[in-house]
Structure 1
Amino acid sequence: MSDKSFWDSRYAESHHVWSGNPNVVLVREVEGLTPGSALDLGCGEGGDAIWLAARGWAVTAADISAVALEKAAAHAAEAGVTVDFQQHDLAVSFPSGSYDLVSAQFLYSRENLPREQVLARAARAVAPGGILLIEGHQDFGPFAAQSQDHGDVHFAEPGEVVAALELPAGEWEVLLCEKHDRLQNGPDGRPAHRTDSTVKVRRLPH
């Protein structure tokens, strides 16, 4: 099954696959920023993109799944905000332009998504003075029993993520590169601990 088919099927299973709420780290790290242009990679049903748009950001949001994008557009309309939703297989195509904020929250795939290359491309899309925010997993947490269903996923250490970006010396500053604990509801609906990671880098102004 292709990535597109897998995610279309997953998003067709229910009205909400995800909570609809923005990711906690995104909220924490973006709330104090002056709104500008933002790119949300792997936007899913649009929770992050809609939250950003409601706070004055001009948001472009990309996902591989047409089903997810259709649902995200409907949720944005319900919220009364405008988001430019675009369908992209990020291994093949990427939204054009440069952005004050590029966000990649838990950008993974069952198949051979070249995550390092996609994130390096994301860094090149950051405008001078802008931020790249990457949130990732360090383990399967409460979903360890289902790990065989997710293909050969490598959960890179935050330092690995920064190194793979190959940021030109003197042009960027690393603001965050850390692991942290997070509570997440498991398959049984009960909260369980999971280790995630945050990378936040800023492209220096010219």
Structure 2
Amino acid sequence: MSSPEKKTFFATYDWAKTWQELPWAHQEPTLFLAEVCRRRPPGRVLDMGCGAGTDSLFLATMGWQVTALDFMPRALEYAQARAAQQGVTIHTVEADITDWQPPGRFDLVLDHGLLHNMDPVRHAAYRACLMQALADDGDFILLHWHPLVPGQANGRMGPRRVDRETLKAYFAPELQERYFACEEFEDLPDVVGGGMTQACYWFRRNPAQLRPRELLEQVRSTLQRHDYDFPAALARAGEQPLDPPLAAEHLARLLGPGRLGISHRPPTAEAAAGLLEAWSRQAGADVRETTALLTAFASASHAGVCLAGAPRCEQCSVTACKRQRYR
């Protein structure tokens, strides 16, 4: 964190007589944390920029092993004092997240307002630390300010406003948004820029990027379930694409966030083939074979599973697809 930002935080902690007087203090745990606790057993959690520790304490009471990190000594004092009062244990770390080395990987990483208070020159280091700290099956919860209206300027101090598309692009392609919620605050002090939209994100690793070969194997398995002989079809095609080829618009839909999630935003039809080629090369897969595989998977002239308008999801084994999450 830059020196001007640190000066602001030190001044604020010096001014506040109790943790409740801190402008960013909150009594309730950050949105989505209770649902994370319902869905998975307690594990290791990293609270980045823990402040006075409200979220750390909540998670400790739920059985999590908490690492509460902040560069402000006073914040950690508040967090430890509150933990002692509640009879729970948290491990506090005084450090700047952008030059801290995670001592392992965490099942849950939480950021209640750290990133949006950070100088953008440190964003790359923040992102690198997050990717190193988050387990492959981990959850990442982020609270961040958005503009209340398009083009809204930031205040003279306080959090920076960033729109949803910019944040999703910042974490892509490694992470994908699972859930999103927001609340509008129409009237805040002018010094912080007036109103804002407070957004909360729940991110997870993108399986299309984390395990691309597994995704391709699941497509193959789906074709086998439908008695579609892909090796034979590929051999008949020779050096040519499967006939007929998949329409570019259909391929774009298949690669987008609503299905396989190879792209975090819906690609254009013109960009789809290039996107698939780049992803295939990154996965170490043959581009021609991957293109043929998805053609067989999605085209009505072949296996016809992931059709454009009415995909047969109940007959599909591709767990990376967004349409399969709630089945």
TM-score (norm 1): 0.77
- Matched-pair contact (CA < 8 Å) for 1:104–1:133: yes
How far is 1:10 from its partner? 1.4
Residue 163 of structure 2 corresponds to: 157
Are residues 1:137 and 2:128 paired? no
Deviations 1:70-100 (A, max 9, x none): 1111111111111111011123224321000
Q: Out of 58-67 and 1-10, give the one that drifted further.
A: 1-10
| SS of match in other structure, 2:50 | coil
Q: Out of 52-61 and 3-12, give the one that drifted further.
A: 3-12
Deviations 1:156-178 (A, max 9, x none): 2233222212434xxx55312x4
1:28, 1:185 → 2: CA distance? 29
Residue 114 of structure 1 corresponds to: 122
Equivalent runs, 1:172-191 vs 2, <5 Å: 173-176=176-179, 178=180, 180-182=182-184
CA root-mean-square deviation: 3.2
How far is 1:180 from its partner? 1.9
Deviations 1:83-120 (A, max 9, x none): 11101112322432100001111113265562354134
Structure 2 regions of 5+ residues with no counterpart? 212-327
Larger radius of gyration: 2
- Matched-pair contact (CA < 8 Å) for 2:108–2:134: yes
How far is 1:195 from its partner? 1.4
Residue type of the alignment partner of 2:12: R
Please point out which of 128, 131, 134 is paired with 1:123.
131
Distance 1:185-1:66 versus aligned 2 partners, 3 A rule: farther
- Matched-pair contact (CA < 8 Å) for 2:148–2:195: no
Residue 77 of structure 1 corresponds to: 84
Equivalent runs, 1:38-57 vs 2, <5 Å: 38-57=45-64
Please point out which of 79, 84, 96 is paired with 1:89.
96
The structure with more strand, counted as a fraction of residues: 1
How far is 1:45 from its partner? 0.3
Identity of aligned residues (%): 24
| SS of match in other structure, 1:114 | helix
How far is 1:8 from its partner? 2.6
TM-score (norm 2): 0.51
How far is 1:56 from its partner? 0.5
Aligned residues: 194
2:166, 2:9 → 1: CA distance? 27
The structure with more helix, counted as a fraction of residues: 2
Residue type of the alignment partner of 2:126: V
1:134, 1:199 → 2: CA distance? 5
Q: Out of 89-98 and 78-87, give the one that drifted further.
A: 89-98
Residue type of the alignment partner of 1:164: Y
| SS of match in other structure, 1:136 | strand
- Matched-pair contact (CA < 8 Å) for 1:140–1:147: no
Bigger RCO of structures 1 and 2 (CA < 8 A, at least 6 apart): 1
